[in-house]
Amino acid sequence: MAPLTEQEGGKLFRDVWAARDSYIQVVLDRSAETLDRFFAENQSHLLSEAERVRALELMELQRHAQLMYTSCGWFFDDISGIETVQVIAYAARVLQLAQDLFGEQAGALEPRFLARLAEARSNVAAAGDGARIYKEQVRTTQLDLEQVAAHYAISSVFSSFAEETELFCYRVRRQAYDIYTSGRGRLALGRASIASVITDKQQSFSFAVLHFGDQNITAAVKPCEEADAAEFEAFASQAAEQLQRAKFPEVIRLLDRYYGHMDYSLTSLFRDEQRRIVQVILNSTLSSIENSLTTIYEDHASLLHYLSQTSLPKPPALTLAAEFAINAGLRKALEGDPVDQALLRSFLALAKADQIPLETATLSYIADQRMKRAMVELQISAGSLEALDRALALARTLVELPFELNLWQAQNIWYEILRVSSYGLTALATDDRPRWEKDFCELGSCLSIDYEAISAQDLTAATTGD
């Protein structure tokens, strides 16, 4: 890689290795000012825009070539470990940039690299060797500007983007965008310019996304400059017309004809965004299921009560509906602001009467977090009686729950408030302090804290100097 770097770098920099060393200033601060200063100090001549892109790609190649020697990647004893896979990913980025920069001269690099990796076998039989790890875990994560455009296009069906936005280390400028709906079918059509924040490499694309509901998404992307805009608009007009007529096969034929292929789907998204969108889809699906099961339970609740009272066997389907409906009701009651005490008690009574098992892990977590938020609010209020009333009301309610809570975070905040109470309750009037101390003591009791024991310990510590 070094000879190729010197060959290309000699066309761009006075000293390519000195430029590589000073590139750390750009890595630390990628502002336009830092970039201009870097080129002013290192370029061999005034670089054109295209040359600056190549220069930055060359610097990124060398940066990743250094990153692939990160010691933690080779410290562990298996090539399938996350650390080693990460440094292989750095090496893969070197190969990707080398292909862009050096073309055919870099053609033999990846095969030779894979041959070397194949000699390193993993201790995990399912992982195979280094070459297999590279192909299955590393190569599949590589990105180019077209894939970023596909990510933007698919995400736009579920998110609203500004005309200019940033996606991780890419800038996206929307040039045209429309979305059409027919029943559950949606068609998003648009053009956008994608630019790398790291290398300034830029390209414009057109895209089409067809969504039939849930995870059924297919998308196509191809380069589209201003000269191609009229052709795209004509295609977009025809596709939108066919969609609004609900002629989905014709829409698909138009997309195939214009793009030649439909290569992208939900799996093409960056992993974090993929999870977010899947969660959006699941939330809609689960809400529909929840409503259906709740309706089934409500329609047959009296029958379930009768079967429970007479100790007769309950049909599994009806029990399932009851479990889902009651636990969903408890979650909603706990998540309400304020907590709906009447609804909470009602569902707890139903669960007890019909012997319905509770989702204690989920409900306990929701309760713990609600109590923590109430205590944070109390701490910030610096002695607000209103905040104390809300925290105490919540704590009294949570005490009624028939399962154990893990309130350690709320307990720690309670103690912190107690510790600074002699000077930190700036919002508390002197006349209100007796009420504060009484209610704060009860709050501690609800949180399973022995207020008297703590006060005695603090007094002993103050007397002995411990």
Do the Cβ atoms of 211 and 232 come closer than 8 Å? no
Residue 209 has pLDDT above 90, yes or no: yes
How does residue 465 score in pLDDT terms, banded at 50, 70 and 90?
Answer: very low
Residue 311, CB-side half-sphere exposure with 13 Å CA sphere: 0
* Domain extents in the chain: 2-141, 145-269, 270-357, 359-466
Above 50 in pLDDT, residue 82? yes
Determine the average pLDDT of the residues in 135-142. Answer: 89
422's CB contacts (< 8 A; 6+ apart) are none
Q: What pLDDT score was predicted for residue 339? A: 85
C-alpha pair distances (Å), 371 with each of 393, 401, 414, 446? 10, 13, 11, 11
Q: Which segment of 157-161, 312-316, 337-341 scores lowest on mean pLDDT? A: 337-341
pLDDT at 239 over 70: yes
Q: What confidence category does residue 232 fall into, taking pLDDT thresholds of 50, 70 and 90?
A: very high
Q: How far apart (Å, rounded) are the C-alpha atoms in residues 236 and 179?
A: 10
Exposed/middle/buried for residue 180 (C-beta within 10 Å: 0-12, 13-18, 19+) = middle
Q: Give the model's pLDDT for residue 459.
A: 45
SS percent in the chain: helix, strand, coil, step 5:
65, 10, 25
Identify whether the C-beta of residue 98 lies closer than 8 Å to the C-beta of residue 61. yes
The dihedral formed by the CA atoms of 98, 103, 104 and 108, expressed in degrees to the nearest 10: 20
For residues 167 and 194, give the distance between their C-alpha atoms in angstroms, rounded to a whole number.
10
Within the chain, what is the greatest distance between any pair of CA atoms? Answer: 92
How many percent of the chain have pLDDT more than 70?
97
Q: Identify the bridge partners of residue 217 per DSSP, sorted by sequence position.
A: 211
462, pLDDT greater than 50: no
